[in-house]
Structure formats: structure tokens, C-alpha cells
Structure 1
Amino acid sequence: MSSGPSLQHYENEKAKKVAIVGAGLVGALNACFFAKRGFQVEVYEARKDIRTAKDVRGRSINLALSYRGRQALKAVGMEDQVVFKGIPMNARMIHSLSGRKSSLPYGKKGQYILSVDRANLNRELLNAASEYPNVKLNFEEKLQHYSLEKGSLTFIRPEGSFEVSHDLVVGCDGAFSTVRRQFMRQPRFDYSHVYIPHGYKELTMPPRNGDFAMEPNFLHIWPRNTFMMIALPNLDKSFTCTLFMPFEDFEKLTTGDEVLQFFKKYFPDSIPLIGIESLKQDYFRLPAQAMISVKCSTYHIGAKCVLMGDAAHAVVPFYGQGMNAGFEDCIVFDELMDQLHNDLSKCLPEFTRLRVPDDHAIGDLAMYNYVEMRERVNSKWFIFRKYVDTFLHFCMPKTIVPLYTMVTFSRIRYHEVIKQHKWQCKVINSILFVMGVSATITGAVLLFHYLPKSPHLLVLQNWNYSFK
């Protein structure tokens, strides 16, 4: 952090104690936001400190950082250092079955998303949080129970269990949140989770002759209708390839030779880039991992507890918005604290009111985008519509904005993005329909006047003139 952390104290306010459960991406960023505001912050994490641990366990899908996440990082003075360690991706690079490659830009010239490493970003955020004198980071302390009635948190660590109490508890402990269990006991709390029937496996495409094996400034996609593979670039000039596929298809591949034959059939151009032996080893290193979508409402209990990130709204990774939506939680809450003068009794219910419809919307959009990535990008009509959207956006930048642009390169609320997209689809489809009808009529008129006259056409012409 270039200028070092600064504390924002409000007049006559006693510094409150905030417990953040979970030191992942959203928890660590939240620690910075609350610390800047002058709160006494304690972060509790069940795992070892990722900054010193020899083996880092957990999800390793590369992340796509976009505008919403960058705005949150900017608010705590971290945008530049994170962007410096990211790799810009300007477009999707589509790999056909024949090996032909074609690109689909994400937005206007200069608009891009960033490929960032999850573990490295988490380290950066924890380092930033630890620079604040009013932040204490606690590792290998797992939340066992949260009692709303007593206002206490019970943690267990190698030496035994202990109990603490805080003015505010922020649950950032992931899709299987322990903090959220307390919410399950509350009346009128809605909760649902869905495991999609597809899983994922990660493979590594190493550097080639000291450089990237493929074009680095793209998100590479091999769309195969019911499944797909993607590849994101890393700073060490490797690519992380992720194969998304129904579990039943993963289960059919039980030997290295079967995996090789499968890749020869569906991803032949990737084999020499990954390497035959590496492909066989990577494929069987771990079982296919599951993906879950979580929705709930509300996100708060009184003025005592609030959920953020995956604890409130885990989404599947196909829009690259899971981290960005979690980071946006942090900045939305911070903006509310400004507007409502740190009054938690007002901020928490307002946070729920604002974020629930938006987070449910991005959950739906992420599901939709999987179908788009694995199937629709193969469609000529889909590609044509992308160019139509881009052209109309160029002509009417404030009226027509492509769906992906609204989601990725703006902070338009997610649920408003869906409304705007539906309206735009009606308008664009109407324009295309009128153009199609006009072209048909024009073609018919030209045909009518310039084809050699047959007796039937002469009769029609005479009938037409009788009405003039």
C-alpha cells in the first residue's frame, strides 16, 4: 500500500470490535475496510496462514478480476499493486474442433479483464490488512459455534477451545459457512443451495521455450456443447486449464489412455501444449471438484451479524463474478457506512435490501453464461448478435449496452442489468425483424420488376396497376 493505511474516526464514536470469520479474499479485504474506519478488527481463520504455509489447499481456479472488484481494491489503495500482478485478457479465443481459432472481444478497445492468481491475491490482501495497527489476524482457529443470544463466538484451536464476543460479526467463511448456521434458526430466513451436475478438473499448460505456449492476452475456450475447457494465463508464463464436464463423463475416463483418446477427439490442439504424460498425471491428481450455487435472504441479524461473499451468495464460476461480487459487497457496505454515519442498526438491513436481489441475479447470470461459453459461442447467430450489439453500442453508447459490458465493466446493479438486457433484446429483435421484412419486400419488388415477364406475372402486374 503506497501511502500506508489511514484511520477514519467519526466524532464521539467509540471504536467497536468487529470479528471477521474467514481470512479468504472477502474476509481479508473486509478487514482493510473496517480498519480504515477505526474499528478494532479481529480476523479468525481455520486454515494455516497462507503466507507461510508450505502447501496451500483449497480452490485454485484462476480468477478474473474486473471493474467491480477493482473499484473495491481502489477504495483501500490496493488496485495498482494487484493490477500490476495480473495479466490482461482482451477477448475470448475460441478453439474449434478443427483447430481453427477466432477471437471475440470482451468490450470496446482498452476494456479487458485480468487473470489473477487466487493464492497470491489472498497473500496481498492479508499483508495489507496486517499493516493496520487495529487489525489482528488469527490462524488455525476454527469457529465451532456462534451464539446470537450470548453474542459469543466459540473457536477451537490446537490448545483447546475459547470464547470471545464482539460488537459485530461478519461471516466471510465461504459457501459452507458456520456463521450462517445461526441464520438457519431465524424465522423467515430463506436458504437454498444447488450442486450443478458438472464438475471440474485443473490441468497445467507449461511455458514453451521460455514463453507462453499460446497467445497470452486471451481467455482461451474450447466449447464442446455439453462440456468445455478454458485456459487462463499465469505470470510464470504457464496456463491453468480447467475442464468443465458432467460428473458422469469424468467417471467414464478411468485410465491414462482413455483420457488421451478423449483429448484427441475433443481437444486435439491442446495435447502437444500440455504434454501427453503431464495430461495423464494432472487428470488423475484430484477427483473432479463440485460446484455449488447458494442463495439466501436475509444477510443480517439485527445489528449484530452480517454475511458477505460466498457465505451469502456462492455462485458458479462461469461469469467470473464470484470474487467481484464478494468485493462489491465490501464496498457497498462501506458506502452505506458513509451514508448512515456508521450506524450498524441501519446499515445492516439496508445492505440486505440492496444486495439480495443483486446477488441472486448474478447467480442466475453465472448459470446462463455456462451455456453460452460451452455451446452458444459455436453459433453463427450468436456471433452475429455480438457484433450487432457492439455496433449498436458504438452508435448509441448510453441506450444500448451489451450484457457482458454491463456486468463486467460497470457497477450497474446486477438485477438492473437483467432488466436492461431484456428490454434491449426486445428493441434489437424488433429492429432485426423490421430490417428482415424490409429486405424481403425490397427483394420481392426487385424480382417483380426485373425478371422476364411470364403470363402469370403480367396478370399480377395488371391487377396491381388497377389499384393505382
Structure 2
Amino acid sequence: MTADGDRVAIVGAGLAGCLLAVLLGRRGIPVTVYERRPDPRVAGAERGRSINLAISARGLAALEQVGLRERALRRALPMHGRMVHPKGGEPNFQPYSADRARAINSIGRAELNRFLLDTAEATPGVRLRFGERVTGVDAEAGAVLLEDAAPEPAGVVLAGDGAFSAVRRSLRLEHDDADFLEHAYKELTVPPRNGDFALDPDALHIWPRGTSMMIALPNLDRSFTCTLFWPRSDFAALRSPREITAYFAEHYPDVAGLMPGLVDDYERNPVGSLVTVRCEPWVRRGAGAAVALLGDAAHAIVPFFGQGANCAFEDCIEIDRCLDETGGDWARALTLYQERRKPNTDAIAEMALDNFVEMRDRVSSPVYRAKQAAQHALERRLAGRYVSRYELVSFSTMPYARIPARIRRQNLALGGAVLGAGAALGLALRAALRARR
């Protein structure tokens, strides 16, 4: 399309929008990126809106494509497992992998976004336009609609403008569902203590409390970003500094004293929503433009498997791959992109919701810990043949949609082997008894 002078527009200069701009720019495709915010490298990140990222195999594979893998890892902290803080008990460390060697990587969203913005800005053919609020797209006219300016022409519009996407709303899709959890989130901070980490920096810390939880991820400045995941009504229940400090002293006693700014953070930081977006189709073709959704605009998921950014990065890589396979035919490439990615994003959305229950309820259970130890023992004994769901999601690039079936097959095979061994043991015992007679 660029041979005919058609413009490619990307809406949203977040993680996915920037990565896609770099990939397209390197193909020689001129791209304009519209972002409603001021340049975050100048204005800074919004207070209480970071939700640290856990970049794992999928995200690292995508960053490798644009030469940012090692740079990101240098600015990230590896977390080799969960540190679970049960109420009334001692913290216990639960490694993510059977060999205890694999880790997910804590990195600030704002910092990774800066890397990607810098790379996009340095890519020939990519233009970044900040303070430009896109209100929708007119696929028939082939135009991006702007809040305070005339529509601008675009032959391809790729919308990465988040879970509450203006582009998605303007398309009036046949199916567009946003399922909100009754839970919401709020961020707090554990600062360094005597110049060092106040908690173990090699772990993602979890305080499971049944219907709610708090997590903490380490930062390079030796602080921790904590996130409360509570029923929305619970946030309003604490009305005074005294109530806030008393509640945390009771429910999070081992960390409450490490948060000198607790009351200020609690009172000033916003309460954020947790939403799963399911919509289709992601692709709309009009007389003037082809439009496609990606990242949270197409499939926002809750953050409990740490896969939101990883999944969005995979969208970008898939679009780039489909352009290769179709010889740059945007219509065919975007159709193929949707066919391949939709089943995968549906699968990770369900796994993320299930992992919320695991993190807030199951991880503190002795039964869960015994099951996890048994899984790791099987992974060591049956290397490559038995792999846990967590490892397949976080430490492989197996398509998400194939993971549930893989887990079912290996569990059936394991169950059959156990039954077979039991039957063989029974036959041997009966034979032994007959021989004794």
C-alpha cells in the first residue's frame, strides 16, 4: 500500500504501538503514531499507574527482534519464584521452575516504554505525534478522526489504544464485551531500607488473603512496587489515616512497618479497574482503509499471569510475520493475523482469570505446595515430556491455545501410567501369593 502513497497510522504509543512502529519502519513502511498523552519521557509516568511488568520468554523473543532484549534485561530484576506471606505464618519461597534457574523479569512499564519510544523515534519513516487524541476511524473515508483537528488520511489503521479503545468503540463491532472484575487495584511503595531492599528482590511477593491479595515487585532503585487487588468496595471502607494503618498492621503485619508513605500512597493513588475485553472481529475493511485492533484494544486481560505485555508483543510479531507471508498484502495479512491470534488470546484470558484464584487462595495451602513439589519432581524426572502450565506460559513460546490440550494429554498419560503401574503391582502380588500356596 505504501507504493501507492497510502499512510499507515498506529493509534497509541504504548508498548505494543511502539514495537509495531519499529517493525514496520524497518520494513520501509512510513508510519505515523498518534498518542493522546504528552511525551512520557518528558512529562513522566502517571502516579500509581505503573503495575510493574513481568517480562518472560514471549516478550523477550519479541524484543530480540528489534535489538532490545539485552537492554531490557539490564534494566530488569529476575524473580525466580514467589515469596508467599501467609497470614499468621512464615514466608515461604516457591520456585517457578523445577531447576530453580528460570525467572520472570520485573521491569517498570514506563522504563520499557521509554526504550521503545527512543527506538521508534530513531527508526527511519516513523513519526511520533503526542497530544493527539484519536476519537475513532472512518474506514470508508480512510481517515483517522482527531478530537481537535481535521481528519487525517490513512490507508491502514492499527489500533493499540488500550482496553478502552476509542477506535474499537467507533467500529461498532458485532461483539464487544468488557467484563469487569469486582476487584480493583491500587499501588503502594516499599522504599529501600538502609540503602538496600527491604524484601528479597529475587521473588515476586504475594500476601494471599482469600478474597483479596497484595503483591510486590522489585525495582532497580531497591524499592518495591506493591499492588493491592481488593474488592472495589473495600477501598472506600478505610476512611482515615488511623483506619488505614490499623488495617495494614492487622492484615499485612510483616510489611506494614516498611511503608512509611503508606497513608499518602493509599489516599492519593487512584483505584484502577481490572477488565477482560472480548471482541470480534478485530479487523474491519472499508472502501478507504483497513483497520485492525491489537494488544489491550483487542483482548485486554487481567494481570495475574503477567502476560499482558508479552501477549501484546506477540501480536506485533504476528502482524510482521503475516506481512512477510503475504508479500505485504495488508488485507490478507490482517485477516491471517486475526485467525492466528484470536484463539491464543482467548486462551490466555481464561488462564489469567484462573491464576487470580490461585494467587489469592491456593498458594498458601499446604496441599498446593505439595502438588507444586510433585509437579517439579515430575518435570525433573520426565524432562520435556511433563511440563507445568506455568512453565509453558512463561518460559516457552508455545501458542497459548495449545497449552490446555497439552496439559490434558500429559495428565492423561501420567494417569494411565499410574494405573498401569498399579495394575502391574496387583498382578505381581497375586502371583506371589499363589506361589506361596
TM-score tier, shorter chain, comes to over 0.9
1:385 aligns with 2:371: yes
1:51-450 alignment runs, 5 A limit: 51-54=41-44, 56=46, 59-107=49-97, 108-156=99-147, 160-185=148-173, 189-275=174-260, 278-302=261-285, 304-429=290-415
Q: What's 1:447 paired with?
A: none
SS class of match (1:162): coil
Structure 1 pair 77–313 and aligned structure 2 pair: CA distance change class (3 A): same
- TM-score for the superposition, normalised by structure 2: 0.92
CA shift at 1:339, angstroms?
1.9
Contact 1:205-1:274 within 8 A present in 2 as well: yes
1:36 aligns with 2:19: no
SS class of match (2:406): helix
SS class of match (2:140): coil
Partner Cα distance (1:288, 1:211) in 2: 29
Structure 1 pair 426–249 and aligned structure 2 pair: CA distance change class (3 A): farther
Structure 1 pair 87–439 and aligned structure 2 pair: CA distance change class (3 A): farther
SS class of match (2:43): coil
Contact 2:214-2:228 within 8 A present in 1 as well: yes
Measured against aligned partners, the alpha-carbon deviations of 1:356-397 in whole angstroms (never above 9, x if no partner) come to 111011111110000000111122222122122222222222
Measured against aligned partners, the alpha-carbon deviations of 1:274-324 in whole angstroms (never above 9, x if no partner) come to 13xx22221111343211110112211137111100000000010000010
Measured against aligned partners, the alpha-carbon deviations of 1:118-152 in whole angstroms (never above 9, x if no partner) come to 11111110010000120110011111231111111
Larger Rg: 1
Q: What's 1:448 paired with?
A: none
Partner Cα distance (1:183, 1:57) in 2: 31
Partner Cα distance (2:237, 2:176) in 1: 34
CA shift at 1:436, angstroms?
8.4
Partner Cα distance (2:416, 2:254) in 1: 41
SS class of match (1:306): strand
Structure 1 pair 210–248 and aligned structure 2 pair: CA distance change class (3 A): same
Measured against aligned partners, the alpha-carbon deviations of 1:15-37 in whole angstroms (never above 9, x if no partner) come to 75210000111111111011011
CA shift at 1:434, angstroms?
7.1
Cα RMSD (Å): 2.6
Q: What's 1:457 paired with?
A: none
Partner Cα distance (2:428, 2:251) in 1: 44
- TM-score for the superposition, normalised by structure 1: 0.86
Partner Cα distance (2:171, 2:385) in 1: 41
SS class of match (1:39): coil
Letter in 1 for 2:81: A
**How many residue pairs align between the two structures?**
432
Contact 1:221-1:231 within 8 A present in 2 as well: yes
The percentage of counterpart residues that share the same residue type is 40
Q: What's 1:452 paired with?
A: none
Partner Cα distance (1:54, 1:16) in 2: 33
**Higher-RCO chain (CA-CA 8 Å, sequence separation at least 6):** 2
Partner Cα distance (1:288, 1:136) in 2: 33
Contact 1:16-1:40 within 8 A present in 2 as well: no
Partner Cα distance (1:60, 1:238) in 2: 14
Partner Cα distance (1:209, 1:216) in 2: 15
Measured against aligned partners, the alpha-carbon deviations of 1:249-271 in whole angstroms (never above 9, x if no partner) come to 22322222222222222211002
Partner Cα distance (2:346, 2:29) in 1: 30
Contact 1:225-1:375 within 8 A present in 2 as well: yes
Partner Cα distance (2:130, 2:169) in 1: 21
Letter in 2 for 1:424: Q
Structure 1 pair 54–97 and aligned structure 2 pair: CA distance change class (3 A): closer
CA shift at 1:233, angstroms?
0.3
Letter in 2 for 1:86: A
Partner Cα distance (1:79, 1:227) in 2: 34
SS class of match (2:151): strand
Contact 1:21-1:170 within 8 A present in 2 as well: yes
